[in-house]
């Protein structure tokens, strides 16, 4: 059954009235209608993973990485060069994949910018899989005990809170 505009305007419930009036309104012509493009719904984007913004985690990350800044690049040192310019710590097993190894010194490699992100043939965040494979090979060859430990514990679950991690790091750093 269809209603006239006058009948709909007599309905007391404003929500019902608005919905029925909207259904009566003529459809607007859009650019898609003129071009013959369908109004099919676009594929929904996969929602991004929300980053952890816990202040204890951020403080613990900063405290942990401070101990590695300014130390010589381990990769350069293995080639007989001394490079302390803009060095940082690289997590061999990424922080996002293993909370257990996040603050583990055995999982850290001190690297210069070149070997961290912009290196030639050996780069931990290289664009090509060959660069990353060479970085993994370097780690396995120069630090075999650390490499074995990281491989063994990469799926170990961490049970401590961020606050507890921060407290332990504060004690360790003195």
**CB-side neighbour CA atoms (13 Å) of 74:** 19
In the predicted structure, residue 32 carries a pLDDT above the cut 70? no
What is the reported pTM? 0.64
pLDDT category of residue 27 using cuts at 50, 70 and 90 = low
> Residue 61: in which H helix or E strand, if any?
helix 55-66
Query: Is-contact 169 63, C-beta < 8 A?
Result: yes
Euclidean distance between CA atoms 83 and 85, whole angstroms: 6
Q: How many helices (H) and strands (E) does the chain have?
A: 9, 2
Percent of the chain with pLDDT over 90: 16
| pLDDT of 173 above 80 | no
Q: Alpha-carbon Rg of the chain, whole angstroms?
A: 29
| Spatial contact of 97 and 140, defined as CB atoms under 8 Å apart | no
Domains of the chain by residue range: 5-34, 55-173
Residue 121 vs residues 92, 127, 170: alpha-carbon distances, Å = 17, 10, 37
* Mean pLDDT over each residue of the chain, to the nearest integer: 80
* CA–CA dist 99, 159 (Å, integer): 9
Mean pLDDT comparison of 35-44, 46-55, 151-160, highest-scoring range? 151-160
């Amino acid at each position: 059954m269809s209603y006239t505009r006058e009948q709909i305007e007599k309905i007391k419930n404003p929500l019902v009235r608005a919905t029925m009036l909207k259904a009566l309104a003529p459809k607007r012509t859009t650019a898609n209608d003129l071009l013959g493009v369908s109004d099919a719904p676009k594929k929904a984007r996969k929602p991004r993973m929300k980053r952890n913004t816990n202040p204890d985690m951020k403080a613990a990350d900063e405290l942990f990485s401070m101990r590695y800044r300014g130390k010589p690049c381990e990769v350069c040192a293995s080639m007989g060069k001394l490079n302390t310019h803009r060095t940082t710590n690289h997590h061999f097993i990424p922080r996002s994949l293993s909370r257990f190894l996040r603050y583990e010194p055995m999982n850290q490699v001190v690297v210069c910018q070149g070997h961290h992100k912009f290196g030639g043939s050996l780069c931990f965040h290289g664009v090509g899989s060959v660069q990353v494979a060479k970085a993994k090979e370097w780690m396995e060859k120069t630090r075999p005990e650390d490499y074995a430990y990281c491989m063994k514990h990469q799926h170990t679950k961490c049970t401590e809170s961020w606050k507890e991690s921060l407290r332990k790091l504060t004690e360790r750093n003195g």
